[in-house]
Amino acid sequence: MRLFDLGLDVVKAKLDCALRFSEGKCKSNVVENNLNGFNVLIEWLAKHGVTSAHVCMEATGVYWEAVAVYLACKGMVVSVINPTQIKAFGQSQ
């Protein structure tokens, strides 16, 4: 079974997507932060053989909520991280 990780940088108008394959290879894409964009994201993932992934995103205002619910309903494992914790971790490195 292949493992996939999907990182999303969420802003009001778009989602910057970074897909990491189990062997370390990465692909990126940008989609709209709306239902149409979410469907494009699912099609893009399917094109790369992804049917399930661990998705991680920051809790950016309210802009993350719709995509988090959408992907969870599609069977993805979704983690929403506090941006302050991410910043602190980055500074600690």
For residue 50, count other CB atoms closer than 10 A to its CB.
17
7-21, 29-43, 61-75, 76-90: lowest mean pLDDT where?
Answer: 76-90
Mean pLDDT of the chain: 92
Question: Is the pLDDT higher at 89 or at 77?
Answer: 77
In the structure encoding, which two tokens stand for residue 17, read together? Answer: 């997507």
Instruction: For 58-76, write each residue's pLDDT tens digit.
Output: 998 899 999 999 999 999 9
**Which is nearest to 65 in space by CA: 10, 26, 6?**
10
Residue 79 forms beta bridges with which residues? 56
- The pTM (predicted TM-score) of the whole model is 0.88
Can you tell me which residue has the tokens 């932060």? 33
Domain region containing 33: 4-92
Tally of structural domains, the chain: 1
Q: Assign residue 63 the CATH number of its domain.
A: 3.30.420.60
**Which is nearest to 33 in space by CA: 64, 6, 75?**
64
CA distances from 61 to 66, 68, 76 (A): 12, 13, 21
